[in-house]
Amino acid sequence: MADKVAPKSHASGKFSDPKSEWPLWEVFIRGQHGMSHRHVGSLHASDTEHAIKNARDVYTRRNEGVSIWVVEASNISASSPSDKGPMFDPSRDKVYRHPTFYDLPDEAGNM
Amino acid sequence: MYAQMVKSTGQAVRTRDDMTVEERAFQDRIDRGEKIEPKDWMPEGYRKNLIRQIGQHAHSEIVGQLPEGNWITRAPTLERKANLLAKVQDEAGHGLYLYCAAETLGVSRDELFDMLHTGKMKYSSIFNYPTLTWADMGAVGWLVDGAAIMNQVPLQRTSYGPYARAMVRICKEESFHQRQGFQVMLTMARGTKDQKRMAQDALNRFWYPALMMFGPSDKESVHSAQSMAWKIKMNTNDELRQKFVDETVPQAEFLGLSVPDEKLTWNEETEHYDYSEPDWSEFFDVISGNGPCNAERLKTRKKAWDDGAWVREAMLAHARKSRARREAAE
Ligand SMILES: [Fe+2]
Ligand SMILES: [Fe+2]
């Protein structure tokens, strides 16, 4: 990759080159053993190691985690809000996927 | 408040008839209490107002570290030093949560910093006052964080998802800030004569600047009305200021200190305190750059940014080189 892009001067009054900004990372934290990682926020960092260190300082100052995942935000693909209907509506009318759909006599016991 | 005088881009609140179909659907979502997320459609005015408000809030957290940072090396005990250090570190975190929330609206971190450093964006007027004695650390935690909490708690329900979530995190951390400040005040107020005098002096100097944090009355402001319709502002400035006075006066009495306001009285009818307005001409002076510490705060901020430039660049260069090396090895 082209890594010759020299960062521009950061002198105030002029926006710095967007390429000289540390990339954005999304941070996921496992709060307790046995739980899954949960998105907690984002931060800027130069590389993975740096992102994990920053995540520790920014998001776990009060013992909030036992494990950290970081992923560069540009690597995340997301569904688009305009697809919300076609994406999620089809599962709405399938009430038979829920246990309460099935009426059973009380005598059958707990199920 | 931390976002005191956010110049609104919107005009008066638009009636439903004036709205486009999209705007109407957007307002309906807000009225139903739905959260707006970064990729959702939003009116340009909503986006711009939020960038200004969240940006100003973020800048306040970051600049707000300076008056307290001033006392870290001179804290009276190791315990107080640890407390203050933790609090100031939290404020840095608050700034970071908020910058990230602002960035989801399409503004970059460097742009936000640039607007702070060139004075295009403001931060709260309160941080342009000096912290002269250790008692000021008490007054700042108790009054300044206290006023901030008053504003931030309702903002947890704001309509913009990333902003609301940042507020939830911030509010969780904020109450320790106020409590440690109050404890400093309590220790001083119950200490020697000199210590009590210092505590009273700190209250005298911070009372009116704290009241100014809520901003001038906006009862009649059309800009505020639009922000309230969009739920990016949850209460009027006067409502919050009154709430602050009502909660803080009994705390001052508990400390045995007197609020520097001769007109301050409990009003049986309204069941609120009547109090004197701060000097608003002083407020406009401070917010427009002429407060006692404006120049110093901005200079310190810019110096930190400029002095850190080589570190930011070196880390990026290192990251690029090691990635190239890794890719070459593959
Ligand atoms: Fe804060
Ligand atoms: Fe705070």
The answer to whether residue B303 neighbours chain A at the CB level (below 8 Å) is no
| B149 alpha carbon – ligand 1 mean position (Å) | 9
Question: pLDDT of B12-60, one tens digit each?
Answer: 677 888 889 999 999 999 999 999 999 999 999 999 999 999 999 999 9
Tell me if residue B265 falls in helix, strand or coil: strand
A58 touching chain B per CB within 8 A: yes
Q: Give me the pLDDT at residue A17, please.
A: 54
Spatial separation of the C-alpha atoms in residues B58 and B102, rounded to whole Å: 9
Handedness of CA B101, B104, B110, B111 (dihedral sign): negative
Average pLDDT on B99-121 reads 96
**Average predicted confidence (pLDDT) for chain B:** 94
Tell which residue, B163, B120, B137, has the closest CA to residue B64: B137
> Options 3.30.1330.60, 1.10.10.920, 3.10.20.520, 3.40.50.1360; which CATH number does A24-75+83-108 get?
3.10.20.520
Contact residues, chain A, for B86 at CB < 8 Å: 61
> Do the Cβ atoms of A16 and B110 come within 8 Å?
yes
Q: Mean pLDDT, to the nearest integer, of B220-248?
A: 92
pLDDT digits (tens, 9 = 90+) for B153-173: 999 999 999 999 999 999 999
Is residue B286 classed exposed, middle or buried when 0-12, 13-18 and 19+ CB atoms within 10 A define those classes? buried
Percent of chain B with pLDDT over 70: 97
**How far apart are the CA of B91 and the centre of ligand 2, in A?**
6
Best of B62, B109, B168, B311 to disrupt the A interface (most A CBs within 10 Å) is B109
Interface contact A15, partner B, CB < 8 A: yes
pLDDT for B8 equals 60
Residues 6+ apart with CB under 8 A from B330: none
Give the best residue of B115, B320, B326 to mutate against chain A (max A CB count within 10 A): B320
Contacts of B320 in chain A (CB under 8 A): 1, 3
- Find the closest chain A residue to B320 by CA distance: A3
CB atoms within 10 A of CB A53: 13
Q: Which residues of B touch A58 (CB under 8 A)?
A: 93, 96-97
CA of B89 to the centre of ligand 1 (A): 10
Structure tokens at A45: 């960092």
Q: List chain A residues with pLDDT less than 50.
A: 1-16
Determine which of A18-32, B112-126, B312-326 has the lowest per-residue pLDDT on average: A18-32
The residue written with tokens 């200004």 in the block is B52
- Residue B230 CA to ligand 2 center (angstroms) comes to 26
Instruction: Give residue B10's pLDDT band: very low, low, confident or very high (50, 70, 90).
Output: low
For residue B58, give the nearest of B145, B173, B156, B170 by alpha carbon.
B170
The 3-state DSSP class for residue B274 equals: strand
Q: Hey, is the C-beta of A52 within 8 angstroms of any chain B C-beta?
A: no
Distance CA A2, CA B222 (A): 51
* Any B CB within 8 A of A34 CB: no
Q: In this structure, are residues B215 and B237 in contact, taking their beta carbons and an 8 Å threshold? A: yes
Residue indicated by tokens 């002076």: B285
Q: What is the mean pLDDT of residues B171-195?
A: 96
Per-residue confidence (pLDDT) for residue A81, from 0 to 100 = 81
Evaluate if residue B136 carries a pLDDT over 80. Answer: yes
Alpha helices in B127-236 (DSSP H): 135-139, 145-155, 161-189, 193-212, 222-229
Please answer whether residues B252 and B13 qualify as being in contact, where contact means their C-beta atoms are separated by less than 8 angstroms. Answer: no
Q: Is residue B278 predicted with pLDDT exceeding 70?
A: yes
Shortest CB distance from B324 goes to which of A1, A47, A78?
A1
In angstroms, the CA B25 to CA B102 distance is: 23
> Chain B closest CA to A42's CA: distance in Å?
6
For residue B317, what are the contacts with CB-CB under 8 A and spacing of at least 6? Answer: A3, A7
> Is B316 touching A (CB cutoff 8 A)?
yes
Dihedral angle sign, alpha carbons of residues B294, B300, B303, B305: negative
Ligand 1 mean position, distance from CA B69 (Å): 14
pLDDT band at B180 (very low <50, low <70, confident <90, very high): very high
| Closest chain B C-alpha to A104 CA, distance in angstroms | 37
A87 interface with B at CB cutoff 8 Å: no
Domain layout of chain A by residue ranges: 24-75+83-108
pLDDT digits (tens, 9 = 90+) for B293-314: 999 999 999 999 999 999 999 9
- Arithmetic mean of pLDDT, B234-250: 97
Distance, in angstroms, between A108 CA and closest chain B CA? 42
Which chain A residues contact residue B117 at CB under 8 A? 12-13
- What's the confidence (pLDDT) of residue B18? 86
Q: Which residue of B has its CA nearest to A42?
A: B100
Dump pLDDT digits (tens) for B244-261: 999 999 999 999 999 999
Taking an 8 Å cut-off on Cβ atoms, the answer to whether B165 and A41 are in contact is yes
Verify whether the Cβ–Cβ distance A3 to B324 is below 8 Å. Answer: yes
Write out chain A in H/E/C secondary structure.
CCCCCCCCCCCCCCCCCHHHCCCEEEEEEECCCCCCEEEEEEEECCCHHHHHHHHHHHHCCCCCCCEEEEEEHHHCCCCCHHHHHHHHHHHCCCHHHCHHHCCCCHHHCCC
d(CA B226, CA B43): 12
- Read off the amino acid at residue B38: P
Task: Compute the distance between CA of residue B271 and CA of residue B257 in angstroms, rounded to an integer.
Answer: 22
Strand, helix or coil for residue B278? coil
Single out the residue of B315, B302, B322, B238 nearest to residue B62, CA to CA: B302
| B108 interfacial to chain A (CB closer than 8 Å) | yes
